[in-house]
Amino acid sequence: MRLALGATRGQIGALVLLEGVRLVGIGAALGLAAAIATGHLIRAQLFGVGPGDALTYGAPLPVLVVAALVACLWPVRRATAASVLDVLREE
C-alpha cells in the first residue's frame, strides 16, 4: 500500500528491516535476562562458570543476533519486490 501512496522501495525495505531489528533487540534483551535469572537458579550445577559470566552470555549473543537479522532479509526482499498492482488487488 505504501508503494501505491508514493513510498520508495528503499523506504519500504527500511521499514520492514527496522521492525525486524526491533523484535531482535527485544528478544535478545529478554533472553539475556532470562538466562541470567536461570543461571542464578542453577548455580549449584554450574562448574567452572559463574552465573553472571560475561563470556558465557556474550559469545553466543552476536551469533544469534546476526542469524536473526539474516532471517529478516527474506521479508525485506519480498516486501520490496511486490508489485503495486498485485498488492492493491489483494487489499
The structural domains of the chain, with segments of one domain joined by +, span 9-90
| pLDDT at residue number 3 | 66
| pLDDT at residue number 38 | 84
**Residues 78, 15: contact at Cβ < 8 Å?**
no
Q: Which residue has the cell 539474516?
A: 70
Q: Report pLDDT digits (tens) over 46-79.
A: 677 666 677 777 888 889 888 988 998 888 888 7
Q: Report pLDDT digits (tens) over 11-42.
A: 888 888 899 889 988 998 998 888 888 877 77
**Calpha distance 91→76 (Å, rounded):** 19
